[in-house]
C-alpha cells in the first residue's frame, strides 16, 4: 500500500488501524515530513505489526518510509 496524501498522513494512519493490522497487508510506503510525524508513524506502524525496513530522503525534503509486516503479527 502506498500512502501519499499531502500532509495528512498521520490522520490517515490513525484512522486506518484495522487495515494496517490486516495480515494480508505486507508493506506500506509513506512519505513523512517532520521528525515528530516520523516518530508517530513508526509507533502507529509498530502497533499494527509493521516494522521500518528502509528510509530515504531523496524526495524533495520528505522522507520516504517503507514498512513491512513482522513475522509475529
Whole-angstrom distance, CA of residue 32 vs CA of residue 8: 9
Rounded to whole angstroms, the Cα distance separating 59 from 25 reads: 24
pLDDT at 70: 82
The answer to whether the predicted template modeling score (pTM) of the entire model surpasses 0.75 is yes
pLDDT in tens, 10-53: 999 999 999 999 999 999 999 988 899 999 999 999 999 999 99
For domain 2-69, the CATH architecture is: 2-Layer Sandwich (3.30)
Amino acid at each position: 500500500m502506498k500512502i501519499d496524501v499531502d500532509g495528512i498522513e498521520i490522520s490517515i494512519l490513525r484512522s486506518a488501524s484495522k487495515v494496517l493490522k490486516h495480515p494480508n497487508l505486507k508493506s506500506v510506503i509513506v512519505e513523512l515530513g517532520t521528525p515528530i510525524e516520523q516518530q508517530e508513524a513508526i509507533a502507529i506502524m509498530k502497533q499494527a505489526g509493521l516494522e521500518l525496513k528502509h528510509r530515504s530522503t531523496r524526495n524533495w525534503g520528505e522522507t520516504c518510509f517503507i514498512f513491512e509486516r513482522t513475522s509475529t503479527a
